[in-house]
């Protein structure tokens, strides 16, 4: 069963590119360009891991992770940020983020992290 | 307060030009102005008071002289008038007591004179003569051959004829020896005759000698025209004219302050001797006693010595004052410099973080697009010029990686806001950091020595950030030294509440012009290989940890970074 990933970022171009690259590697990737869209998608279809940008207009990543964790506590979330402020890292961890990656990220690192997150999900929620 | 490159390591002329503390020239000007103002304020009254005092003193000396001279003139005048009156009275008595015929007898006349000189102790009469109204000497007794002499054309004869009694000026007469005459007239029928005695001028001079005459005093008699009637100590002998103007004399005693012919201050007393043509003159030079506490030279010496003392104290004082002022200004300037520098770094830091963040997003897109391109090429088995395209993609990815390195470090520079806290043994931490340096030091044969003084307390700080601080400094030191170089790390307590870590290398050093910029972000001398952020991050961390970092360096000799860390934070 392929890994089901939701990638959320306000940069549409980035979303489409990353989604395409993940799919090339056999990952079932879906893109969302806002926090609101991400929440709708999470309700509509099942995912294993959410890749979530912290700084977005409208609903920010930290808000989104809180809501996701409220309804889907078993869904693993990896935070992405171009900023990497220490307090964001701390807050993200407190809200249950699996990992915090700083942009620009190497796709191989992302995929490795995705697999680790999925593995934990398997391990914890089986 | 963290320290930027310490200000004393900068070129002083540059600092003076740029900073508002007292530069050499204005300090000298201030010192000069202060010195002059204080000197004038303190010395002018001193000089004025000294001279007023001296003037007062001189006045009192003169006043004393005036009083003394006045007393002397009064005494001499009294005794001289008494002397003349006594002799005039004696002649008046004789001329009334004896008849004309008796007086015409030489024997009687001679006896009478002897009687006056010896018995009445009047003395001093040189001769005695009887002269008729025609001026002919009828009878004469004395040492000169004056019998029958004619006096009708002489001044005294004319005067005595008019007044009845007369004292003449000193004159030479027939005897050619200075003398004066006392004459008295006696009526006889319709005519008259005159009894005349003469007294030698020396006798007159003897009368001037009195108690209280000091060796400097000059006392003499002159007539109304200023011709000497008795010898003067300074103005010549009898019948010479005196060289100085004699004040107009009256019967009263007059005392004047007047300079003598050599312009020396003197007191001149004079008085007319009653019923005579004589004017008594008494001159006393005003000479302050040499032993007195105040003389002009002594006063000048006193003035000079006190002026020198005052000037010395003022000079010292103004120097001290200006030096203190200068030091304070320097301190303030240094403080301002530090604040300015810290603000500058903070501003640049915020700016850098903002820029880094904005760049990261497009950088991520570039990275992913390049990755996608690579993926596509790899999927196509027969992609034309595959190697060329893959090379381009790798180059893009490499450049993105370089950019990422920069933005991550920039963010790191701004990131160190929160600080963890744990108890840290500084020496132990330094040992760890030296361990991180890897094998490069060993390959290049660089000696790294840690020397800790006893009694260094453990500190409360953030271990990870401290490691980064020392790692950055040590990396720089390692880059600065040549193969076989040396890096010395010293740990010592700095006062009660701080620990100082100094990292000294014997490498290439930092040129003066770079020294005050090394903590600025993007400042690098490692063209191409460095981001120029290492030391600025180090600076920022030390600041956050509540410490200070200073650097001293000499180009060609080496560099010493000193990090001062608080034992307890806050």
The CATH number of residue B372's host domain is: 1.10.287
Q: Are residues B404 and B424 in the same domain?
A: no
**Nearest-neighbour CA in chain A from B522: distance (Å):** 19
Q: Are residues B106 and B208 in the same domain?
A: yes
Classify residue B297: in a domain, yes or no: no
Write phi, then psi, for A46 (nearest 5 degrees): -80, 140
pLDDT tier, B5 (very low <50, low <70, confident <90, very high otherwise) = very low
Classify residue B431: in a domain, yes or no: yes
CA distance B110 to B90: 15
pLDDT digits (tens, 9 = 90+) for B338-373: 777 766 766 777 777 778 878 888 888 999 999 999
Classify residue B537: in a domain, yes or no: yes
Kindly list the residues from chain B whose CB atom is less than 8 angstroms away from the CB atom of residue A84.
Answer: 408, 411, 415
- Which residues of B, range 16-35, sit inside 8 Å of A by Cβ? none
Write out the two tokens for B357: 């963040």
Q: Which residue has the higher pLDDT, A31 or B226?
A: A31
Write phi, then psi, for B530 (nearest 5 degrees): -105, 155
Do residues B255 and B266 make contact, with C-beta atoms less than 8 angstroms apart? no
3-class DSSP state of B455: coil
Q: Are residues B401 and B483 in the same domain?
A: no
pLDDT digits (tens, 9 = 90+) for B145-185: 888 888 888 888 888 888 888 898 898 888 888 999 899 98
pLDDT digits (tens, 9 = 90+) for B484-499: 889 999 999 988 889 9
Task: Determine which of A20, A81, A84, A107 to mutate to test the interface with B (most B C-beta atoms within 10 Å).
Answer: A84
Q: Are residues B501 and B393 in the same domain?
A: no
Enumerate the H helices of B105-231 as residue ranges.
Answer: 106-114, 155-163, 201-207
**Nearest-neighbour CA in chain A from B377: distance (Å):** 12
3-class DSSP state of B488: strand
Q: In CATH, what number is assigned to the domain containing residue B54?
A: 3.30.450.20
DSSP secondary structure letter of residue B203: H
CA distance B149 to B159: 18
Write phi, then psi, for B76 (nearest 5 degrees): -65, -40
Q: What is the mean pLDDT of chain B?
A: 82
- Cα-Cα-Cα-Cα dihedral of B330, B336, B338, B340, to 10°? -150
Q: What is the mean pLDDT of residues B197-222?
A: 84
Q: Are residues B236 and B108 in the same domain?
A: yes
Q: Are residues B73 and B139 in the same domain?
A: yes
Classify residue B31: in a domain, yes or no: yes
CA distance B501 to B268: 92
pLDDT digits (tens, 9 = 90+) for B470-486: 988 988 888 888 888 89
Q: Are residues B60 and B196 in the same domain?
A: yes
* A104 vs B358, B367, B379: nearest CB: B367
Please say which residue of B350, B383, B415 terminates a domain.
B415
∠ CA B103-B109-B112, rounded to 5°? 115
Do residues B139 and B109 make contact, with C-beta atoms less than 8 angstroms apart? yes
Residues 6+ apart with CB under 8 A from B466: B424, B429, B541, B545, B565
Do residues B553 and B493 make contact, with C-beta atoms less than 8 angstroms apart? no
SS (H, E, C) B4-51: CCCHHHCCHHHHHHHCCCCCHHHHHHHHHHHHHHHHHHHHHHHHHHHH
CA distance B476 to B535: 9
- Cα-Cα-Cα-Cα dihedral of B288, B294, B295, B300, to 10°? -170
Write out the two tokens for A44: 């509509």
Classify residue B69: in a domain, yes or no: yes
Write phi, then psi, for B452 (nearest 5 degrees): -110, 130
**Nearest-neighbour CA in chain A from B415: distance (Å):** 6
Q: Are residues B203 and B263 in the same domain?
A: yes
Say yes or no for a CB contact (<8 Å) between A13 and B357.
no
Domain hosting residue B134, numbered range? 1-286
Q: Which CATH number fits domain A4-120: 3.20.20.70, 3.90.550.10, 3.40.50.2300, 3.30.9.10?
A: 3.40.50.2300
B471-506 residues labelled b (16+ CB within 10 A) or e (exposed): bbbbbbbbbbbeeebebbbbbbbbeeebbbbbbbbb
- Give the per-residue pLDDT at B413: 62
Number of neighbours of residue B336 by Cβ within 10 angstroms: 13
Q: A102 and chain B: CB distance < 8 Å anywhere?
A: yes
CA distance B315 to B309: 10
CA distance B390 to A114: 26
- Give the per-residue pLDDT at A111: 92
Q: Are residues B401 and B425 in the same domain?
A: no
Do residues B395 and B408 make contact, with C-beta atoms less than 8 angstroms apart? no
∠ CA B352-B357-B359, rounded to 5°? 95
Q: Are residues B469 and B512 in the same domain?
A: yes
Do residues B182 and B199 make contact, with C-beta atoms less than 8 angstroms apart? yes
Do residues B256 and B248 make contact, with C-beta atoms less than 8 angstroms apart? no
Nearest CA in chain A to B369: A17
Please say which residue of B228, B252, B286 terminates a domain.
B286
Do residues B505 and B481 make contact, with C-beta atoms less than 8 angstroms apart? yes
CA distance B131 to B66: 45
pLDDT tier, B24 (very low <50, low <70, confident <90, very high otherwise) = low
- Give the per-residue pLDDT at A15: 93
Classify residue B355: in a domain, yes or no: yes
pLDDT tier, B292 (very low <50, low <70, confident <90, very high otherwise) = low
Q: What share of chain B is helix, strand, coil (3-state, %, to 5)?
A: 50, 20, 30
Say yes or no for a CB contact (<8 Å) between B408 and A102.
yes
Does residue B561 carry a pLDDT above 80?
yes
Query: Residue ranges per domain, chain A?
Result: 4-120
Say yes or no for a CB contact (<8 Å) between B365 and A13.
yes
Please say which residue of B415, B445, B479 terminates a domain.
B415
CA distance B451 to B334: 31
E strand or H helix at A100: strand A99-102
Do residues B368 and A18 make contact, with C-beta atoms less than 8 angstroms apart? yes
Domain count, chain B: 3
Write phi, then psi, for A78 (nearest 5 degrees): -110, 125
* A14 vs B364, B376, B400: nearest CB: B364
Say yes or no for a CB contact (<8 Å) between B415 and A103.
no
CA distance B38 to B41: 5
- Give the per-residue pLDDT at A76: 92
The dihedral region occupied by B98, where left means phi > 0, alpha psi between -120 and 50, and beta the remainder, is beta
DSSP secondary structure letter of residue B447: E
Do residues A29 and A5 make contact, with C-beta atoms less than 8 angstroms apart? yes
The dihedral region occupied by B540, where left means phi > 0, alpha psi between -120 and 50, and beta the remainder, is alpha
Q: In CATH, what number is assigned to the domain containing residue B542?
A: 3.30.565.10
Residue with tokens 């930092």, as numbered in its chain: B510
Classify residue B260: in a domain, yes or no: yes
pLDDT tier, B539 (very low <50, low <70, confident <90, very high otherwise) = confident
Omega of the bond leading into A104 within 30 degrees of 0 (cis)? yes
DSSP secondary structure letter of residue B190: T
* B363 vs A24, A84, A104: nearest CB: A104
Q: B170 and chain A: CB distance < 8 Å anywhere?
A: no
Do residues B60 and B52 make contact, with C-beta atoms less than 8 angstroms apart? no
Closest CA to B167 of B206, B113, B114, B221: B221
Q: Is B549 exposed, middle or buried (0-12, 13-18, 19+ CB in 10 A)?
A: buried
CA distance A105 to B407: 12
pLDDT tier, B500 (very low <50, low <70, confident <90, very high otherwise) = very high
Does residue A126 carry a pLDDT above 70?
no
Q: What is the mean pLDDT of chain A?
A: 88
Write out the two tokens for B244: 């100085």
Q: A109 and chain B: CB distance < 8 Å anywhere?
A: no
3-class DSSP state of B498: strand
Q: A103 and chain B: CB distance < 8 Å anywhere?
A: yes
Write out the two tokens for B328: 């304070």
pLDDT digits (tens, 9 = 90+) for B417-475: 445 678 888 998 898 888 777 677 778 888 899 999 988 999 988 887 888 889 889 88
Classify residue B114: in a domain, yes or no: yes
Q: Are residues B207 and B282 in the same domain?
A: yes
Write out the two tokens for B514: 């770079």
Q: Are residues B437 and B502 in the same domain?
A: yes
- Give the per-residue pLDDT at B438: 64
Kindly list the residues from chain A whose CB atom is less than 8 angstroms away from the CB atom of residue B361.
Answer: 11, 14, 82, 103
């Amino acid at each position: 069963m392929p890994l089901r990933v939701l990638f959320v970022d306000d940069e549409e171009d980035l979303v489409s590119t990353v989604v395409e690259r993940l799919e090339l590697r056999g990952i079932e990737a879906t893109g969302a360009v806002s926090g609101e869209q991400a929440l709708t998608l999470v309700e509509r279809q099942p995912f294993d891991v959410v890749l979530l940008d912290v700084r977005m207009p409208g609903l920010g990543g930290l808000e989104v992770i809180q809501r996701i964790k409220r309804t889907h506590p078993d869904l693993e979330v990896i935070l992405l940020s171009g900023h990497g402020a220490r307090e964001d890292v701390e807050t993200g961890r407190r809200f249950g983020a699996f990992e915090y990656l700083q942009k620009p990220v190497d796709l191989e690192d992302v995929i490795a992290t995705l697999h680790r997150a999925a593995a934990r999900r398997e391990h914890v929620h089986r | 307060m963290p320290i930027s490159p310490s200000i004393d390591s900068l070129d002083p002329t540059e600092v003076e030009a740029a900073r508002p503390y007292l530069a050499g020239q204005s300090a000298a000007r201030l010192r000069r102005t202060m010195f002059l103002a204080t000197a004038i304020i303190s010395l002018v009254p001193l000089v004025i008071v000294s001279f007023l005092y001296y003037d007062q003193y001189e006045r009192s000396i003169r006043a004393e002289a005036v009083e003394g001279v006045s007393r002397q003139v009064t005494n001499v005048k009294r005794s001289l008038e008494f002397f003349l009156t006594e002799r005039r009275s004696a002649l008046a008595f004789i001329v009334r007591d004896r008849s004309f015929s008796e007086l015409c007898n030489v024997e009687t006349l001679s006896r009478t004179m002897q009687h006056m000189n010896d018995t009445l102790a009047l003395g001093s009469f040189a001769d005695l003569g009887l002269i008729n109204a025609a001026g002919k000497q009828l009878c004469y007794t004395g040492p000169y051959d004056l019998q029958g002499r004619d006096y009708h054309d002489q001044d005294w004869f004319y005067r005595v004829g008019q007044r009845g009694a007369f004292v003449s000026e000193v004159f030479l007469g027939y005897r050619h020896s200075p003398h004066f005459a006392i004459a008295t007239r006696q009526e006889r029928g319709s005519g008259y005759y005159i009894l005349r005695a003469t007294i030698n001028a020396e006798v007159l001079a003897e009368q001037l000698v009195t108690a209280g005459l000091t060796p400097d005093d000059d006392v003499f008699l002159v007539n109304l025209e200023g011709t000497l009637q008795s010898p003067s100590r300074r103005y010549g002998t009898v019948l010479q004219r005196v060289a100085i103007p004699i004040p107009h004399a009256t019967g009263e005693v007059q005392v004047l302050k007047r300079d003598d012919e050599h312009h020396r201050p003197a007191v001149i007393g004079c008085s007319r001797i009653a019923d005579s043509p004589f004017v008594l003159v008494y001159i006393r030079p005003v000479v302050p006693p040499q032993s007195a506490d105040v003389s002009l030279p002594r006063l000048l010496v006193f003035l000079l010595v006190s002026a020198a003392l005052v000037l010395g104290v003022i000079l010292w004082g103004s120097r001290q004052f200006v030096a203190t002022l200068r030091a304070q200004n320097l301190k303030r300037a240094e403080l301002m410099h530090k604040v300015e520098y810290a603000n500058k770094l903070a501003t640049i830091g915020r700016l850098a973080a903002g820029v880094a963040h904005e760049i990261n997003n497009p950088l991520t897109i570039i990275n992913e697009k390049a990755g996608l391109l690579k993926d596509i090429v790899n999927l196509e088995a027969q992609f034309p010029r595959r190697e060329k395209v893959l090379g381009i993609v790798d180059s893009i990815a490499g450049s993105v990686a370089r950019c990422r390195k920069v933005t991550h470090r920039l963010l790191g520079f701004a990131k160190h806001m929160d600080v963890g806290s744990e108890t840290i043994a500084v020496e132990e931490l330094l040992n760890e950091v030296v361990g991180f340096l890897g094998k490069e030091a060993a390959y290049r044969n660089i000696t790294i020595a840690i020397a800790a003084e006893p009694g260094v307390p453990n500190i409360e700080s953030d271990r990870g950030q401290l490691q980064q601080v020392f790692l950055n400094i040590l990396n720089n030191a390692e880059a600065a030294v040549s193969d076989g170089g040396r890096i010395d790390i010293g740990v010592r307590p700095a006062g009660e509440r701080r620990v100082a870590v100094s990292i000294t290398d014997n490498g290439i050093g930092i040129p003066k012009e770079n020294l005050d910029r090394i903590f600025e972000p993007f400042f690098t001398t490692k063209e191409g290989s460095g981001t120029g952020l290492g030391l600025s991050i180090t600076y920022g961390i030390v600041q956050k940890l509540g410490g200070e970092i200073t650097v001293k360096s000499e180009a060609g000799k080496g560099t010493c970074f000193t990090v001062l860390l608080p034992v307890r934070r806050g």
